Amino acid sequence: MYAEPLTAVERFQFDESVAHVFPDMIERSVPGYNTILHMIGVFTQRFVQRESRCYDLGCSLGAVTRSMRRNINHGGCRIVAVDNSMAMLERCRAILEKDDSLVPVDMVCADIQDVAIVNASVVVLNFTLQFIPLCARSALLCRIHEGLLPGGVLVLSEKIRFTDSGQQAFQTEMHHAFKKSMGYSELEISQKRAALERVLLPESLEEHGARLSMAGFRNHHTWFQCFNFVSFVARK
Ligand SMILES: C[S@@+](CC[C@H](N)C(=O)[O-])C[C@H]1O[C@@H](n2cnc3c(N)ncnc32)[C@H](O)[C@@H]1O
């Protein structure tokens, strides 16, 4: 998408052109993406509860949903997969139809800020919170906490920023090097970065930690980090 010079780099959107290349784009942009997906399956196996719901908020093409589905071994569970991009959801539906798991999936085209979270044992925000306006993030996490059953978990993966400028520069440089190693050119990297500016708003480890505590989670742990990408697990 960003291989040729663009006269004006438009604001990044999860439209048809992004949905078309999404699996390739996310694998080449997020270090450890496949490990995180695998471990979401491990978290699901450990924390899913009988007759409960698992939520995939910002599901894109359903990679998290598929990982959860393969690891739900209790009866009466269903997955709620939510995205506000119709282009993503249509492709997601086609992918899930080919999947042979019997765990039901409710696909919802909506803003995750408007979706009721109820009877949840596992909730996943895999690189989605970073696209929600900063002022709306606390309310969303409070609603997730409220909708979780006792013992339930939130897995939250995000691109982060660092308050120390030396560390910010180092981690950004290494992320850049990772993308080059995955075959992206300097032009692709810089045009995509420009498109994401003011759309993807990263926060620091400290800001995420404080919000998880404020939302009521009894504890949270950073279980994954590679450069400026982290994943937390927070327990109710
Ligand atoms: C980086 S992708 C998430 C990747 C996906 N969770 C995965 O692991 O493959 C972000 C997704 O969140 C969706 N999204 C962004 N803001 C949203 C919102 N307010 N409500 C619902 N979906 C949203 C986008 O359409 C996009 O599909």
The helix (H) or strand (E) run that includes residue 224 is strand 219-226
- CA 221 to the chain's CA centroid: 17
Structure confidence by residue, pLDDT tens digits, 132-171? 999 999 999 999 999 999 999 999 999 999 999 999 999 9
Q: What is the pTM of this model?
A: 0.95
pLDDT of 196: 78
Instruction: Estimate the share of the chain in helix, then strand, then coil, as percent rounded to the nearest 5.
Output: 45, 20, 35
- How many residues in total does the chain contain? 236
Is the pLDDT confidence value at 189 over 80? Answer: no
Ligand 1 probe mutation, 35, 54, 131, 157, most atoms within 8 A of CB: 131
Question: Contact at 8 Å (CB) between 82 and 110?
Answer: yes
- Amino acid present at 20: H
* Torsion (CA) 217, 157, 107, 142 in degrees, nearest 10: 30
Give the pLDDT confidence of 89-133 residue by residue, as tens digits: 999 999 999 998 999 999 999 999 999 999 999 999 999 999 999
Dihedrals phi, psi of 80, to nearest 5 degrees:
-110, 115
Q: What is the predicted pLDDT for the residue at 206?
A: 97
pLDDT for 178: 96
pLDDT of residue 14: 82
Query: Which pLDDT score is estimated for 177?
Result: 96
CA 86 / ligand 1 centre spacing (Å): 11
The per-residue pLDDT for 64 is: 98
The pLDDT, as a whole number, for residue 197 is 77
- Measured CA to CA in angstroms, residue 141 lies from 113, 120, 209, 218, 235 at distances of 10, 13, 12, 13, 12
Q: Is residue 20 within 8 Å of 48, Cβ to Cβ?
A: no
Q: What integer pLDDT is reported at residue 87 of this predicted model?
A: 96
Sign of CA dihedral 218, 224, 230, 231: negative
- Determine the pLDDT at residue 199: 85
For a pocket test of ligand 1, which of 68, 128, 129, 132 has the largest count of ligand atoms closer than 8 A to its C-beta? 128
CATH homologous superfamily of domain 27-162+198-235?
Vaccinia Virus protein VP39 (3.40.50.150)
The span from the CA of 137 to the CA of 133, in Å, is 7
Strand order across the beta sheet in which 229-235 lies: 105-109, 78-83, 53-57, 120-126, 148-159, 229-235, 219-226
| pLDDT one-digit tens code per residue, 7-57 | 666 776 788 888 888 899 899 999 999 999 999 999 999 999 999 999 999
| Higher-scoring residue by pLDDT: 195, 4 | 195
Which pLDDT score is estimated for 1?
Answer: 66
Q: Which two tokens stand for residue 25?
A: 């784009």
pLDDT band at 184 (very low <50, low <70, confident <90, very high): confident
